Structures are given as C-alpha cells and as structure tokens.
Amino acid sequence: MSLSRSTLLLGLLAVFGVGAGCGRGGGEPLLPAAAGGPPQAAEIPKASFLPPPDGLLRQGQVERYIVVLAAAARASRPAAAPGAGQEASALVDEDPLVAPDLAAARLSGFPEEEFLWIRERVLESEASAMNAKLNADVLAMLDQTLADLRARRATAADPPSRQLVDEQIAGFEAERARVRTEAAEPEPLQVRNNLRILEPYRSRISLLQAEIDHSLSALRPQRKGAPSSRP
C-alpha cells in the first residue's frame, strides 16, 4: 500500500437537520408562543458545506487557504519575532488544542467544514507526491546497489563468494520488483487532478506550514515553563 493511501485522513460527514412541525403538513416548525404573543417560527439550521461531486479543489479555495495559512504563520511567531502582532496570543495561546491554521480560519470567517475539506485534499495530494518521490529515490538506490554487487561478483575470489553475492543480488532484485509494482499503481484520478491544481502553490504552502511548525516548536519550551493563566 502506498504511503499516501496509508496516511489519508478520515472523511468529514456533513450533517443536516430539518425540523418537522408536529401535526402539520409542512411549513416551518413553531416555537412555544411567548406570553400573549403569537407562535414563533423556529430557525431552520443552515446547510453544512457540501464538497463538490468531482472532489476537486477550486483555485479560489486554494488561494483563500493560503491566505489563512499566512495569517496563522504570522500569528504563530513568538512575540519577539519581527512582524509578530497582537493576534499571536489569540491564535496560539487562546486554545492550544486548536491548530493555528484552523483558529485563523475561524477568525477570518472561513467556513470550518470547507476549510477542513480543503486541508484534507492538500495533505492527500502532498502525501501522493511524497510517495512518488520516495519510490523514485528507493529505486535509484536499489539500481546503484545492484550495479555495485554485480561489479563485486565479477571480482569474487571463489565460487562461495560469488554465491553469496548472487544471493544478495536476488534479494535486492526482488525488492526492486516490489517497489516498481507499488510505484506503478495509479493514484485515484481525483488525487492526481488535485495535485495538478495545487502544483503552482505547493512551494508557498510548504513554506508557510514549515514556518507555523517552527514557531510552535519554539513556543513549546516557553509554555512548559510558564505558569498557566487558566483557572
């Protein structure tokens, strides 16, 4: 199984609730009437984000996602860092259990379910690209190892030495065949298409995420030694 498929996150479920009037043939459900007043219509829950049927990211979604990451990166910088603003405590210290990017999305009014869906597609695509690179690197290493073993076999001093090298060659050839088979398995079409959509943005997303991770790692020792301000 490829790396990307073994690291896919759980899918989000969109939940919808529709009230039903008691003993009525339709229309809005009614709340109990206030004293002396008419019955009040209940507020119908708003529909949750619906992922597109094709599962593909849109350019506007990717660009908005990057804006959120940039805000999270700024807010995650330690207070002494150039460019860090007052929003740092709002995103990083307000709720340490919430990732800075999700906190920034909430602060900007980005619908949470849509943001999480976009993030999943980004991670899914990045895992696919990393898996392809890993397979290519492993195959290159195996090719080099096999070339070295064949050269060693040609200069082996005696038949037992050649037999030992032959066994090593057989083992590495079997591993190369396995990796080639795995690398040849196509990713789902949706993943491949999203990777193409994300290609112009991957470097920027990676840099912003790395900045967030670096800032959080720098903040952890400070938090460990700082007294808690929460009750």
For 96-106, the pLDDT digits (tens) are 567 899 999 99
Distance (Å, rounded) from C-alpha 201 to C-alpha 63?
Answer: 8
Q: pLDDT grade, residue 21 (50/70/90)? A: very low
pTM: 0.67
pLDDT computed for residue 40 by the predictor: 54
Task: Quote the percentage of the chain above a pLDDT of 70.
Answer: 66
Distance (Å, rounded) from C-alpha 216 to C-alpha 208?
Answer: 12
Mean pLDDT of 79-86: 54
Mean pLDDT of 89-96: 51
Task: Quote the percentage of the chain above a pLDDT of 90.
Answer: 59
Nearest to 115 by CA among 76, 71, 79: 71
Distance (Å, rounded) from C-alpha 84 to C-alpha 93?
Answer: 14
Q: What mean pLDDT, rounded, does the chain reach?
A: 78
Please give the residue that has the higher pLDDT: either 97 or 226: 97
N residues, the chain: 231
pLDDT computed for residue 152 by the predictor: 95
Predicted confidence (pLDDT) per residue in 135-186, tens digit: 999 999 999 999 999 999 999 999 999 999 999 999 999 999 999 999 999 9
pLDDT computed for residue 215 by the predictor: 85
Q: pLDDT grade, residue 51 (50/70/90)? A: very high
pLDDT computed for residue 46 by the predictor: 53
> For the chain, what is the radius of gyration of the CA atoms?
27
At 50 the three-state DSSP class reads coil
Q: pLDDT grade, residue 87 (50/70/90)? A: very low
